[in-house]
Amino acid sequence: MMQRVKINQLLGSKTAMDSVVVKGWVRTKRNAKDFSFMEVNDGSCLKNIQIIAGADLANYPEVERITTGSAISVTGPLVASPGKGQSWEVQAREVEIISLSPEDYPLQKKRHTDEFLRTIAHLRPRTNKFGAIFRIRSEVIQAIHMFYRDRGFYCLSAPVITGSDCEGAGDMFRVTSLDPAEVARQGRMNFNEDFFGTQANLTVSGQLSAEMFALSLGDVYTFGPTFRAENSNTSRHVAEFWMLEPEMAFCDLDGNMDHGEELVKALTRHVMEHCAEDLSLFTKFVDKSLGGMLDTLVEQPYERVTYDEGVEILQKSGRKFEFPVDNGMDLQSEHERFLAEEYFKKPLFLTNYPKDIKPFYMRQNDDGRTVAAVDLLVPRIGELIGGSQREERLDHLERRMDEMGLSKADYWWYLDSRRFGTVSHSGFGMGFERFLMLITGITNIRDVVPFPRTPGAINF
């Protein structure tokens, strides 16, 4: 039995071939007088391959009835195509119909809105746009691992179920092995009966785990799902998303920024090099300015300014913001975007935020007011990366935990790392889906996640 060849390989062929087997799904079909022309896609690339099936085929009457979305297997020679926009086509010697799609196949040849396609998220990767998104998503996952392997970082799987609350934001999902309906019926919740014997949550960050490993293995990263139970229906939030979190021993805030800039540039360059065809769809149909943005991302040095400077720029901008800017406040998306999109017109690192709006683990600056935090703000998205140099001094850390009312007993192991061989270390979290939005121009995060989870939505 001949092995099938994937369409991206056929289209990239240097020579004609006597006989190939193609398997895939029919995207469009046109019946001419003595021929059927079919565009077939197998998901391996954006382009389809054209199949010419002649009336001399034994099962031609069946071939004529092939519908959009049907699965077929075609055997025949790969020959130079006389048609425009394609170099190769397959002249079918044999067409096997694997399955016929009924007429109500939802993906007919016409433009579907993103909103409609979200209702059939199980089928949308069969469209040009979502096929391209998910191939790019896959390639960025690959690029992330390659980037870190090249630099001697070790990959760590941080636990998803956790008893800690790294960010202290309080919007965590709870995990239980008990049936809540049964708990309600009994009118009592006894955590001793629950799987872990105590309250358990879905993680909001792998950072604390990564810190323990950075202080053992040097440079590490964790890349996995993280969760927020925020009941917010925005185009930039989902309840479940992937986060990349590098953590580096013997690294200060400058080293952290150097690393973040190198990472974003390397990943962007990788996508430009390896996903050129899929990317062209987004520059053509999604965001005409995308090409210029990608050039800026890889070519320009990223700006580095302090929070105080950023606030001053915003206040002097003369711009009317929905939320007025005040030194001491957490910046809103509109402020972040103004700085990146309009003022600097490129990514910028904003450093040294007021300690009162940041978590307990960030290194306290000598001014007693700010911490060695850093966010990377980028056009269209706002915050892409959030990180810090970590507080490595045990006494400072304990005092801050007391101030914030955190239980030191709960974090005994974390404090241990400052007791035994503590060193300066730094790291950050990059929202993986936000990066995908940045490089594709996609404006709704639901469209870069295979099966997004949002309030009220857990389909598929």
Measured from the CB atom, the residue of 149 and 288 that comes closer to a second copy is 149
401 Cβ neighbours under 8 A, 6+ residues apart: 360, 407, 408, 411
Residues 374, 426 contacting (CB under 8 angstroms): no
Give the residue with the Cβ less far from a second copy, 275 or 293: 275
Query: Shortest approach of a second copy to residue 317 CB, angstroms?
Result: 37
Give 447's DSSP letter. G
Q: Taking the alpha carbons of 103, 106, 107, 109 in that order, is the dihedral positive or negative? A: positive
Q: Both ends of the chain: CA-CA distance in Å? A: 36
Pairing type for strands 49-54 and 88-91 reads parallel
Q: With respect to a second copy, which residue has the nearer C-beta, 233 or 327?
A: 233
Exposed, middle or buried, 207 (CB in 10 Å: 0-12/13-18/19+)?
Answer: buried
Question: Which CB, 69 or 347, lies closer to a second copy?
Answer: 69
Of 95 and 340, the one with the shorter C-beta distance to a second copy is 95
The answer for 102, left when phi > 0, alpha when psi is -120 to 50, beta otherwise, is beta
CB of 180 to a second copy, least distance (A): 4
Least Cβ distance, residue 450 to a second copy (angstroms) = 6
Taking the complex as a whole, the smallest distance from the CB of residue 275 to a second copy amounts, in Å, to 12
Q: Name the pairing type of β-strands 71-80 and 17-31.
A: antiparallel
C-alpha–C-alpha distance, residues 244 and 234, integer Å? 22
Of 218 and 291, CB closest to a second copy: 218
Describe the crossing of helices 290-299 and 253-274 by its angle, rounded to 10 degrees.
Answer: 140
Whats the size of the chain, residue-wise?
460
Across the beta sheet with 382-389, the strand order is 154-156, 219-227, 240-249, 425-431, 382-389, 373-378, 348-351, 303-306
Q: How far is the CB of 85 from a second copy (least distance, A)?
A: 22
Q: How far apart are CB 448 and a second copy at their closest, in Å?
A: 10
DSSP 8-state class, residue 83: S
Kindly tell me which of 210 and 339 has the beta carbon lying closer to a second copy. Answer: 210
**Closest CB 374 distance from a second copy, rounded Å:** 20
If the CB atoms of residues 55 and 183 are measured against a second copy, the closer one turns out to be: 183
Minimum gap (Å) between residue 102 Cβ and a second copy: 7
